[in-house]
Amino acid sequence: MAQSSTPPQTQEQRVQEFVSDFNALRSEIRKVIVGHDEVINHVLTGLFAGGHVLLEGVPGLGKTLLIKTLAESLDLTFSRIQFTPDLMPGDIMGTNMIVEDESERKHFQFHRGPIFAHILLADEVNRATPKTQSALLEGMQEGAVTVSGHANPLPQPFFVLATQNPIEMEGTYPLPEAQLDRFLFKLRVQYPALEDLTEIINRTTQVREVNVQRVMTGPRALSFRELVREVPIAAHVRDLAAHIVLATHPQWERSPEQTRRFVRYGASPRGAQALVLGAKVRALSEGRYNVSVEDLRAMALPSLRHRIILNFEGEAEAVDVDRLITQIIEAAENMSATEKEVFLR
Amino acid sequence: MPDLTILQRAVADVSRQIRVRRAEFYGLRGLFGGSLCALLPLVLRDSLGWQSFVWAGLCLGAGALAGAGIGFSMKLPAGEAARLADRGYGLQDRISTALEWADRPDRTPLVDALVTDAVAHARSLEGRRVIPRRVPREARFVPVPLALGVALALAPAIPLPQGSLPSLSGARQEDEDKQPERTGNLESQEQPRAAKREDMRRAEIQERTVGPRAGMGGATQPGDLSAIFKDTSIAGQTPDFNAFLKKGDERIRMLEQIDRLPDLQRDFTQSQQRMVFQKAKALRGGLKGEQFSPDKLRELLKEMERLGRKGDPGYSGDLSEGMEALEQGQSDRAMEAMERALNKLRAMEEKGRDGKGLRGGREDERRGGRKGERGQGGSPGDEGDWPEGEGSLPGKGRSGSPKGDPSQRLRTNPFDVGVEGEARSGRKDGMDTNLVGRGGNVPSRLQYMGVLGQYRKQMEEDVAREQVPRDYHGQVKDYFKALDEK
């Protein structure tokens, strides 16, 4: 375990520990998961940024396995909920049951549901009814669930990793926009490349034991979350983040043409928070003490792709949101003070 | 807190590079402007002489220097220079963030580490140019005015128009001086202006006629633009009505021929016979035949003869008979002759309208007077223009409907108002809108492309609603198709 017993003396040491732990986690996951480097980085980024991550991909790509491996590499409690149409909110949050104490007196006792875990895998989250999905909302946003008027705090760190299948739409309930917004990142799990697929075949069809080490504890993860928030960001980088988020809104007077044409609703302020927090984690994971423009560019897609709602024309034209975000970033960089403007000013 | 001097030095170095690049950028712009300005003294080399080269050089130099100075002295915030330094050196915004956060009161513990890291990176920087050179768009066109300037410098000086407009005042003054010698004082005082005009006209005629014949047309010197303005002397003339009268203008002779003058009060939509009839009616003044005085009758016959003079009215014999009867004092016979002449007039009008009139309609009411009296032999002169008989139209004109009986075609299909029958074979000139001759080369004032869609839509509606004859549908569509092909 990479955790040290004595607190770091300097900030540089803190950052170095973060980098080493981050790399250690990544290495542990890579023992099991082949490829998907970007997805792994973003999952870990979401963990240290203090948000929740939604993974979208066709079946069999290793989404669930990735999350299970992450849970194994963290010294944290883990629970998995397989979402089905008949799943009820009580099945997630828990319920009050009548129990009898030693004096034979009956009283209600709250039996915690599977949501009371540090890492929660909500598998195929779009298969549950909206009522059950919304039960997850409070836990994700507030870090507590309320049952019978009593709020029960969730253990910290609380990290929800949900998966959903984009192609199997029958019998599913697409997540409402409000719930999508609660996820810090939305990651798209792509089909593996040829080399990765070959490696997957080798790993999974032979006798091979993989021991995933626990490399991080909960309190350490929480301390890293605090460290992330200390990373300074320059004004022009922060302004660029704001420009990017505002440029996703068709109502904004400076938004690009693509936004005006294809977007119905743009990203919420949560999108800006996710963008900057993700950029901070990325900077720290690279051993930097500040956020750069490149960090924003790298984190824009997972932070914003589920927060942009296309209009009818965008849906009809099958506009790729990722490509749209790339164009928006370019437009936002042109809007903010660019090299050309500085040069000619 | 580490020393920020290294960071500031790196930013200052980048600032200097930016200023130099800006000076180059705006210097090239200024050079372009200066090269344009330098063309002017080169054009005026004829008058400026060797100084034109000096002025041209000064324009070039001043433009470039002014641009460079402006570019170098433009404002450059330190934060933006730090950003460009980060970008230029690939420092991922370390310097700009460190400089921005170093003095902030809310700085986090990580800022110290950031500054240390940024200083370490800045120490390893090499003094290389990180700001790329930017060439303004105008710089690509600088060779054009420069080449033009060189051509102007090598070519002979352009002659400038010297001289002035043709001054007739000198000749006029000279003539005025000589005038008292040729004429007396009294005459010169009475008609000074006429004399000037005469002289001007004489000079003008001489320029127009004698000059070209004597081969003087090409005798004008280069730069003498006065030849262009020769005809301006006409504008200075005032109307001379006396000369106009003396010359006996054709228009004066026309005034003497009253018959040839157009009657501006006449209704030109009416025929000659109708006009004669109206005139006769006006002369009669509602009097009966026996109430006519011989003078009135003679006047009436003369007028009828005059009005019918142009063609062959066919009633000239009646008129001459009437005139003879008047000479012999037989007013009744003269009156009968006049009535015959009027009847012939009416018959001619009837003949002219034969087959053209429409049955029924408002025309009937207007022509035939009151409905009940039409064709009942109403007394002549008491009604409209055609008081007698069945009216001027073929048939009896007694349709119960004021607009006549509807045709069969209208009953069948309200939308089918097209013309029946087959189209005339051969070229249809009425549809040919292509101009021939000189006007054909002149571009149309109508912007076809702007209105073509509108006209095509109207055409399609008209064709669909059968407002265009069926036999012309193809021709109309071919016409618009031909416009598209153009």
Summarised one tens digit per residue, pLDDT across range B350-398 is 665 554 444 443 444 444 444 444 444 444 444 444 444 444 444 444 5
Q: pLDDT by residue (tens digit) across B1-49?
A: 667 788 888 888 888 888 888 898 899 989 999 988 988 888 888 888 8
Could you give the ipTM of this predicted complex?
Answer: 0.79
Distance (Å, whole) CA B93 – CA A235: 10
pLDDT score, position B174: 52
Q: Which of A231, A342, A344 sits opposite B84 (nearest CB)?
A: A342
Are residues B114 and B18 part of one domain?
Answer: yes
- What is the pLDDT, as a whole number, of residue B130? 76
Highest mean pLDDT among A301-310, B255-264, B323-332, B388-397 belongs to: A301-310
How close is the nearest chain A Cα to the Cα of B61, in Å? Answer: 22
Which pLDDT band, with edges at 50, 70 and 90, does A247 fall under?
A: very high
Of the three residues B318, B353, B388, the one that is the final residue of a domain is B353
**Cβ-based contacts of A230 with chain B (< 8 Å):** 108-110
Mean of all residue pLDDT scores within chain A? 86
Do both B20 and B116 map to the same domain?
A: yes
Q: Clarify whether residues B12 and B146 are in a common domain.
A: yes
Counting Cβ atoms within 10 Å, is residue A140 exposed (0-12), middle (13-18) or buried (19+)? buried
B315, B345 Cβ separation under 8 angstroms: yes
Peptide bond into B109 cis (omega under 30): no
CATH fold of A232-344 reads Helicase, Ruva Protein; domain 3 (1.10.8)
* B160 is a domain residue: no
pLDDT digits (tens, 9 = 90+) for A92-136: 888 888 888 888 888 888 888 899 999 999 988 888 888 888 888
Q: Identity (one letter) of the amino acid at B215?
A: G
pLDDT at residue number A306: 92
- Cα of B162 to nearest chain A Cα, Å: 47
Portions of chain A given CATH number 3.40.50.300: 11-222
**Of the listed ranges A247-256, B209-218, B433-442, the one predicted with least confidence:** B209-218
What is the arithmetic mean of pLDDT over A34-48?
90
Closest listed residue to residue A38, CA positions, set A174, A197, A187: A187
B chain contacts of residue A337, beta-carbon cutoff 8 Å: 80, 83
Residues within 8 A of A (CB atoms), B 93-112 only: 93-94, 96-98, 100-101, 107-112
Q: Are residues B88 and B209 in the same domain?
A: no
In a domain, B341, yes or no: yes
What's the average model confidence in pLDDT over B322-339? 81
Query: What SS3 state is found at A111?
Result: strand
Smallest CA–CA distance, residue B58 to chain A, in Å, is 26
Cα(A116)–Cα(A156) distance, integer angstroms: 10
> Looking at CA atoms only, how far is residue A233 from chain B in angstroms?
6
Q: Name every chain A residue with its beta carbon within 8 A of the beta carbon of B119.
A: none
Backbone angles phi, psi at B267, to 5 degrees: -90, 110
Q: Do B136 and B201 have their domain in common? A: no
**pLDDT at A304 > cutoff 60:** yes
Average pLDDT over residues B296-312: 71
Domain identity same for B331 and B457: no
Candidate from A145-149, A156-160, B68-72, B224-228 with smallest mean pLDDT:
B224-228
Structure tokens at A178: 């409000």
Average pLDDT over residues B401-411: 52
Averaged pLDDT of chain B: 68
Give the pLDDT mean for A278-307: 92
Inter-residue contact B352 to B393 (CB < 8 Å): no
B50 in any annotated domain: yes
Of B353, B387, B417, which residue sits at a domain end?
A: B353
Band of residue B349 on the pLDDT scale cut at 50, 70, 90: low
- B18, B93, B116: best mutation site toward chain A, by most A Cβ within 10 Å? B93
Closest-CA distance of chain B to residue A212, Å: 32
pLDDT value of position B323: 83
Reported as a single tens digit per residue, the pLDDT across A151-210 is 888 988 899 999 888 766 677 788 888 888 889 999 988 888 888 888 888 887 877 777
| pLDDT top residue among B61 and B173 | B61
| Pair of tokens at residue A69 | 């491996």
Which residues of B are less than 8 Å from A293 in CB distance? 92-93
Question: What CATH number was assigned to the domain covering residues A11-222?
Answer: 3.40.50.300
Q: Which residue has the higher pLDDT, A341 or A253?
A: A253
| Claim to verify: residue B27 and residue B150 sit in the same structural domain | yes
- Provide the domain limits for residue B458: 443-486
Sign of the alpha-carbon dihedral angle for A174, A175, A181, A186: negative
Where is the domain boundary, B353, B380, B406? B353
Q: Mean of the pLDDT values across residues B293-318?
A: 73
A11 CB neighbours in chain B (<8 A) are 109-110, 112-113
A304 or B217, higher pLDDT: A304
Q: Residue A7: what pLDDT? A: 56
CA dist., res. A151 & res. B21, Å (int)? 64
pLDDT of residue A242: 93
Same domain, B244 and B270: no
> Which chain A residue is nearest to residue B104, measuring alpha carbons?
A232
Asked, for residue B456, whether it belongs to a domain, the answer is yes
Task: Assess A15–B contact: CB distance below 8 Å, yes or no.
Answer: yes
Decide if B130 contacts B21 (C-beta within 8 A): no
* Out of A16-20, A143-147, B97-101, B330-334, least confident range: B330-334
Check whether residue B451 and residue B484 sit in a common domain. Answer: yes
Write out pLDDT tens, residues B99-155.
Answer: 888 888 888 888 888 888 888 888 887 767 778 888 888 888 888 888 888 888 888
Considering only CB atoms, which chain B residues are within 8 Å of A227?
110
Is pLDDT of B431 > 50?
no
Sort out which chain A residues have CB atoms less than 8 A from B90's CB and list them: none
Residue A283 pLDDT more than 90? Answer: yes
User: Cα A301 vs. chain centroid, distance in angstroms?
Assistant: 12
**Taking CA A156 as the corner, what is the angle to CA A151 and CA A162, rounded to the nearest 5 degrees?**
90
Chain A contact present for B134, CB below 8 A = yes
Q: In chain A, what residues touch B134 (CB-CB under 8 Å)?
A: 343
pLDDT at B289 over 80: no
CATH 1.10.8.80 domain span(s) along chain A: 232-344
Is A320 within 8 Å of chain B by CB? no
A223 touches chain B (CB under 8 A): no
Q: Are B60 and A318 in contact (CB under 8 A)?
A: no
Q: How many structural domains does chain B have? A: 4
In the prediction, which pLDDT does A317 show?
A: 81
Based on the fold, state whether residues B345 and B459 are members of the same structural domain.
no
Distance CA B228, CA A328 (A): 65
- Chain A positions touching B79 (Cβ under 8 A) are 235-236
Rg (CA), chain B: 47
Alpha helices in B354-383 (DSSP H): 362-368
Alpha-carbon distance of B165 to B115, in angstroms, equals 80
- pLDDT for A291: 93
Query: Who's near B72: CB < 8 A, 6+ residues apart?
Result: B19, B20, B22, B23
Residue B77's closest chain A neighbor by CA? Answer: A342
pLDDT in tens, B221-261: 544 555 555 555 555 556 666 666 666 666 666 666 665 55
Q: Does A233 touch chain B (CB under 8 A)?
A: yes
Select from A191, A180, A225 the least CA-distant residue to A54.
A180
For the segment A307-316, the average pLDDT, to the nearest whole number, is 86
Contact A236/B79, CB-based, under 8 Å?
yes
Q: Are residues B35 and B111 in the same domain?
A: yes
Task: Please indicate if any CB of chain B lies within 8 Å of the CB of A294.
Answer: yes
Same domain, B278 and B336: yes
pLDDT of residue A271: 92
* pLDDT above 90: residue A216: no
Write the pLDDT tens digit of every residue in A315-328: 888 888 999 999 99
> Which has the closest alpha carbon to A325: A304, A307, A309?
A304
